Every structure is written in C-alpha cells, then in structure tokens.
Amino acid sequence: MVNIEGKVALVTGGSKGIGASICKVLASEGVKVVINYNSSKESAQSLVDEIKNNGGEADLFQCDVSEIEEAKVLVENTINKYGRLDFLINNAGITRDRSFRKLLHEDWNKVIAVNLSSVYNTTNSALPHLLNSECGRIINISSIIGQSGGFGQTNYAAAKAGIIGFTKSLALELAKTGVTVNSICPGFIETKMVLDIPEEIRDQIKNKIPQKRFGKPEEIAKGVLYLIKDGDYITGQQLNINGGLYM
Ligand code: NAD
C-alpha cells in the first residue's frame, strides 16, 4: 500500500460532480489537491474552503484543458506551488448529445477536444513530473458509453473509447517506470450530467441498471483512491463502476 500523505494530485474539472468527490476523498487522506476548473470559479473556491476547513490542503487553478498551452501552464502552476506532482486525474468532460445526422462538426470537435485531447494535453506536461514520483499514477475518467456506445453520443463515445485505447498504450510504454495508467468507466452517476437527461429517459435508464439505482460520485472517488493506494500492480485496465449495467 502506498503512503499517499503529502503527495500531490491534479484533478481536471475538479470543482463539481465526480471531480469534486475525488478531490474531497483524496484530501481526506492527506493528499494536497490541485483543483482545476474552467468556468466554475465559485464552486472551485467553495470546495477549496471546505477541504481547508476539514484540515486538508487544496488550491485552485483556472484552465481550459482542451487548450494545450493552458494545460502546460496548469502543470507549471502545480509544480510552482507544491514542487511535485504524483497523481494526475483526467476527469474534465462534457456531452453534446445529438443523433449523428443532426450532429454539427462543432459538436464533434468540441467533445473530442475537451474529453480526449485534454488527456493528451495534461499528460504531456505532467509526465516528466510523474516519472519523478515513486508512485506516479494517471487515472483517466472514461465512461460506460466508450464501451457500449450510446444513442446520440457518437462524439462522446468516440472520445471515451479513445481514452481507453490511450490508457492501454501509455500503460504499456510506462510499465517499466512504475507509473501506472488506468481508466475508470463510470455507469450513470448522479451528477448534473445525468440530471440533465430528461426525466422520462432517466427513468428508463435506471430500470435497465441491474442494481436499479444510479451511482454516487463518491463511489467513483473510492475507485480512484483504490487505484492510487493499492494499485501498484494494476495498469492498463478499466475499472467498471456501473451497477452491473455493462459487464
Ligand atoms: P460535471 O459536468 O459535473 O463535471 C465535469 C467537469 O468538467 C465540470 O466541473 C466542468 O466545469 C469541467 N470541464 C468541462 N470542460 C472543461 C474544460 N475545457 N477544462 C476544464 N474543465 C472542464 O460531470 P460529471 O458527471 O462529474 O463528469 C465527470 C467526468 O465523468 C466526465 O469526464 C464525464 O464524462 C465522466 N462520466 C460521468 C458520468 C455520469 O454519469 N455522471 C458517467 C460516465 C462518465
């Protein structure tokens, strides 16, 4: 088991939803957390305050992770502040769902940029620092949709499946270094992303889940913690946290 106290984590899109849960769980274990946000400064600031009030350490940095130069500055800011980076959690994501025939080129490009190219952007700058860590971890938040596909989600499914391929390839390349690379594939988790789905469709989805409920953001955060703490011999994998919806 890795001693993670005092180590540093960068969580992209960390101000809300699953990302915020990841930040809280890691901070409660003594990890210094860099919360990246794009536009939700207020949520990010109140999360920093909450973590600090509970005795943890956290800071926030604005950055659109789909922009490579901004991602570079984000990592530089992290190093300037804490002097090291041990865990990179690529969590930022968006949906722009439309059936393929109505999908605009812009919807395609935006979803690929934010969900997939961002993973390249942050990893590219973070890797030299992760290699200096004795327990470097890259955890990419993919999705069940990248495994099963989803109606109206060609763009999102392609990005999330791309993350899985990226993860496996980089895991192979880094296996000898001790830096592990894994994906987590959440099913349907109770965050804004799922609450934005029309209620009728949400009920249909819930009915199809063998465990008959949506997941909680904390359940994904616990998966992240497991891979970080106990995942020394786990690399190139997808951790499915989905109530049995995809096996
Ligand atoms: P969310 O919308 O609450 O969180 C996404 C976060 O990403 C937000 O804080 C948002 O501001 C941030 N973000 C968006 N664009 C960004 C950018 N360009 N730069 C930096 N940050 C940006 O959604 P969530 O449900 O918490 O999703 C978190 C991750 O989990 C996403 O990658 C999502 O695709 C994935 N996921 C979610 C579910 C689910 O059911 N909620 C299921 C599978 C996978």
Check residue 39 and report its DSSP letter: S
Q: pTM for this one?
A: 0.98
Atom of ligand 1 nearest to the CA of 188: 40
Mean pLDDT for 194-210 is: 94
Q: Quote the tokens at residue 17.
A: 């939803």
Compute CA 203 distance to the chain's CA centroid, rounded to the nearest angstrom.
26
pLDDT digits (tens, 9 = 90+) for 5-39: 999 999 999 999 999 999 999 999 999 999 999 99
Of 120, 156, 233, 246, the catalytic one is: 156
CA of 194 to the centre of ligand 1 (A): 10
Q: How far is the CA of 16 from the centre of ligand 1 (A)?
A: 8
| pLDDT above 90 for 189 | yes
Domains along the chain? Answer: 8-237 (3.40.50.720)
Largest Cα–Cα distance of the chain, in whole Å?
51
Task: pLDDT band for 1, please (50, 70, 90 cuts).
Answer: confident
Q: Please, is 62 exposed, middle or buried when counting C-beta atoms within 10 Å of its C-beta (0-12, 13-18, 19+)?
A: middle
Q: Are 83 and 131 in contact (CB under 8 A)?
A: no
Angle between helices 68-82 and 118-132 (to 10 degrees): 30
The pLDDT tens digits of the residues spanning 110-139 come to: 999 999 999 999 999 999 999 999 999 999
